[in-house]
Structure 1
Amino acid sequence: MKHWIKDQHFRSLLKNTSYLAISKAVAAVASLATLVFAGRGLGLAQFGLLILIVSYSQAASGLSRFQSWQIVIRYGGRLDSPEQQADFKTATGFAFALDVVSGLAGMIIAIALLPLIGGWFGLSGDNLTYAMLYCIILPTMAAATPNGVLRALDRFDLSSWQQTMTPIFRALLTIVAWSQSWSLSAYLLIWFVTDLGGDLYMWFLGWRELRRRDLLKGIKPTLRPTSLPGAWPFAIQVNLTSSLQSAWGPLARLIVGGLLGPASAALYRIAGSLADSAQKPADLLARAYYPELMRMDLTTKHPWKFMKRAMVASAIFAGLAIVLMLIGGKPLLGAAFGKEFIAAYAPLLILLGVPVLTIVSFPLPSTLYALDRPDVPLKARIIATLGYFAAIGPLAHYSGLQGAAFAFLLGNVLFVLVMAVYLRTEYRRVRGK
């Protein structure tokens, strides 16, 4: 593997991933502490209501917001010439306009729908009011444009630092809330303030980096990016794919809450969080992988070797995390959360299949985007979503939390299989084999 390190792109991938890994490790510890003290402070039922309220806003954000950072990377990933800098500025202005419009629209629609559908998720009375107020944060959630700017400018260190702020402050405030026996409304306020503060800080970092590099001049919000060929189709297809993906987790918790009650939603949230921790290495590599891939010529063999090396690196790190979770998951649940949360271990074992899939599949969407096939991940996500929603109702009815977890795993299997089939065809076309 020594010759791998000589590969400039692979070294850059490892460097940027290391920034993200350090921040994610800190964030993971802080997030776990947050869940532990919130679970102990509120109890299973109240904690479930907290999860449902926050999950609703996250689902609304995931479904409504454009993943505009993808646009910045796709059209502004190179800054070697004045023409490329102009494309970067246009892409940034387009991404910003999409963030503003979709954020405001998402907030209005989410608040309007809550009185109609909130009861199905177990939200009524004061809890319904809390959920509506929490949706005010939707216009700033995700902070996709500054995230894309920092990645395009190779400032993963800044975005990594920002990603530690929200979980750290939330953990500290949650410990205070637990020690003072604060109510559900206080915990919701903590989530709201830390979410808002973290998002605004990301916007500040993006603006500051643009100013430092003298790139602010010429960036104007626009919904007509005429100089970017295929920008709107790309934005729509990537948005639909990413929106379905990012909404899966929150929607799954809402569905579980509706079918099995708030306590089950809390257990599902705990199991999902622990399974996600095993998936983090692959997620981190995926974030650093896409910008690096956009700097390569996909007609050569280099990017395909790069993809295989990234998969191997992911397998090494994520495999260790999965083994640790299998061995220590049950004792961790009992020691950290209490005996009533041990029931989350059974769905956790099933959900650990998702990081196994992610280890071998995380380069697939980025590679298809680089090949100008954003339609493929969208098709795969639609098929996976239909399969997931068709399965979760009957499986949750007959097998409870384990059934809901298996439906989630089944959807991810469908997603990976469809992309793998298409990518094999694209590889043969590009490489002439």
Structure 2
Amino acid sequence: MARNFLNSWKTSEDSLVRVFRNSAWLFSSKGVSAILSLFYLAVVTRSLGVAGFGTFILIVSTGQIVAAFFRVQTWQAIVQFGTPLLIGGDRNGFRRIARRGFFVEAGGGLLACVLMWFLLPPLARQFGLEPDIQSGLLTYTLILLFAVRSTPTGILRAQDRFRDGAIGDVAIPVVRMAGAIVLVLTAPTMMGFLIVWGVSELVCALILWLLVWRRGSNPDGHLPAQLSQQPAAEMPTRSLFFRFLLATNLSHLLNVIRERFVVIIVGLFVGAVAAGLFRLADQLANSINRLTEIFARPIFAELSRLYGQKNFDDLSRLFFRSLRISAIAGISMFLVLVLLGQPLIHLMSGSEYLAAYPLLLLLAAATIINLVGVGLEPLIQASDRAGAAFLLRLFSLLVLLGLLAVLLPGYAATGAAVAMLLSSALGAAMLLWTSWTLLKEIRPGQSA
């Protein structure tokens, strides 16, 4: 019986089973990442102290925002336009899409490196940054920008090779954990941790490219056999490709700004200690967010496949089934954090970080709302409405900035966490309404 179940699990083409099967590979890497992140976060917090950890987080957050501006995320465009080409047997067309994604991502990273090299020193003098912070920011950001990893990620996901993608992703926490241990045994400095954080991204990119190269002669080898019978898709125009790329990257940029810019704002207006506490709570809450990513990425790939095949009945069923599962998972994870959050903070980082517990609950609630709506934005993007998804993200970010302006002066880091929670609730409500409207459009005359 167990063998029959495993065989049906491996071969089933039910949309939700495919999502869970691909999520299982991502969960293996994200699960390792979540566990190891608790350990290396404990090493960093105890090695640098609250203020030092706050400064470290401000540098990392700034570098990631710079990378989000210039290191173009191409994986969604490769999945959106490359998967139909693979299904139709157009391997050369898929390779052209992949090359286009690579040159866009690498070109953006190279441009950002040049700008950082020449513009950071005068900007650092203008804002009075200390030399060690300036050199740390420059070093970390340059390493981060050289890691071209979105394109190979898109290639692997378009080929339904989520297992290989998971192998690359797990390199980041492994390298960070190993590097943190080495630093503790030698000389735990902020610059050392920044270099380790950046090198982990480079190692991940290298592994992903090696996995792509290994299967280069058979790019559609992991796709279900029956999909090869689908009619050939047309090569997307450059205009269509870059419009989609612009919309998805603007949405990604807004998401990174939402996650990282709030930490910077807290650091600037409240101080490095508050930023450190806020980021520790945010990091623990993001353990839930990793579950969101685990489920969201396979959902986007599956929704893109179903939409490309005009299989709107299965698309609608997948959407609502995933919505119910996400709601149950989100509530369960929040209850776990309510019970274990405070002892976990004390065990990891010590009593001086216990003030982060109320922030953890607020930020976890915001993340749970995002988890419940895990299939909303992928549905909108997969249905050729990436621009609408961006506008919703933009409105949610503007609401967040407005709430920060009101709550931060009087309530400090707690006000920032409340602002995150309220803006998440509003954003999820707008995404739900848009998704509901979209489903009624593509399934006229049928109730959801």
The TM-score normalised by the length of structure 1 is: 0.90
Counterpart of 2:300 in structure 1 is: 290
2:47 is the counterpart of 1:41: yes
Tell me the amino acid that sits aligned with residue 375 of structure 2: P
* AA partner of residue 329 (structure 1): G
Structure 1 unaligned regions, length at least 5: 216-224
| 1:68 maps to amino acid | T
* Counterpart selection for 1:278 from 284, 288, 291: 288
Q: Tell me how far apart the structure 1 counterparts of residues 125 and 420 of structure 2 sit (CA, whole Å).
A: 24
Q: Does 1:310 align with 2:322?
A: yes
Partner of 1:243: 253
Give the Cα–Cα distance (whole angstroms) in 2 for the partners of residues 119 and 404 of structure 1.
28
Query: Using a 3 Å threshold, how does the CA distance of structure 1 residues 155 and 412 change in structure 2: closer, same or farther?
Result: same
Deviation, 1:203, is: 2.5
1:336-375 Cα distance to aligned partner (Å, 9 max, x none):
1011111111111111122221232111111112221111
Q: Superposition pairs for residues 182-197 of structure 1, below 5 Å? A: 182-197=188-203
Q: Does 1:180 align with 2:162?
A: no
* Match status 1:263 vs 2:273: yes
Shift of 1:69: 0.4
After superposition, the Cα gap between the structure-2 partners of 1:176 and 1:98, relative to the gap in structure 1 and judged at 3 Å, is: same
Q: Which residue of 2 aligns with 1:339?
A: 351
Aligned partner of 1:80 in structure 2 is 87
Sort the Cα spacing of 1:114 and 1:264 in 2 relative to 1 into closer, same or farther, 3 A: farther
From 361, 364, 368, the equivalent of 2:376 is 364
* Structure 2 partner of 1:219: none
- The residue identity in structure 2 corresponding to 1:8 is D
Deviation at 1:305, TM superposition (A): 0.8
**Partner deviation per Cα, 1:208-232 (whole Å, 9 max, x = no partner):** 33245499xxxxxxxxx86456112
Correspondence 1:164 to 2:170: yes
Specify which of 14, 26, 33 is matched with residue 8 of structure 1. Answer: 14
CA contact (8 A) 1:75 1:228 kept: no
- Judging changes above 3 Å, is the alpha-carbon distance between structure 1 residues 175 and 322 closer, same or farther for their aligned structure 2 residues? same
- 1:243 is displaced (CA, Å) by 1.5
Query: What are the Cα deviations for residues 66-114 of structure 1, in whole angstroms up to 9, with x where unaligned?
Result: 220011111011313343x333222211111110121122233344554
Q: Measure the CA separation in 1 of the matches of 2:347 and 2:294.
A: 28
CA 1:164–1:359 in 2, change beyond 3 Å: closer, same or farther? same
**1:405-420 → structure 2 map (5 Å cutoff):** 405-420=417-432
Structure-1 residue corresponding to 2:154? 148
- SS in structure 2 opposite 1:294? helix
Deviations 1:219-250 (A, max 9, x none): xxxxxx86456112111111111121123222
CA offset digits 1:111-158 (Å, max 9, x no partner): 455446557988422211221122212433461100000101111111
Contact kept in structure 1, 2:58 and 2:263, CA below 8 Å: yes
Structure 1 CA distance, aligned partners of 2:326 and 2:236? 38
Aligned Cα root-mean-square deviation (Å)? 2.5
> What is the identity, as a one-letter code, of the residue corresponding to 1:258?
L
* Contact 1:278–1:325 (Cα < 8 Å) also in 2: no
Long gaps (5+) in structure 2 = 222-234
Structure 2 residue matching 1:14: 3-state secondary structure: helix
Partner of 1:384: 396
Q: What CA deviation, in whole Å up to 9, does each residue of 1:316-337 have, x standing for no partner? A: 3333222111110011111210
* 8 Å Cα contact 1:281-1:318 kept in structure 2: no
| TM, length-normalised to structure 2 | 0.87
1:415–1:426 distance in 2 versus 1, CA, 3 Å: same
The residue type equivalent to 1:390 in the other structure is G
Whether 1:29 and 2:41 are equivalent positions in the alignment is no
Q: Is the CA contact (8 Å cut-off) linking 2:78 and 2:154 kept in structure 1? A: yes
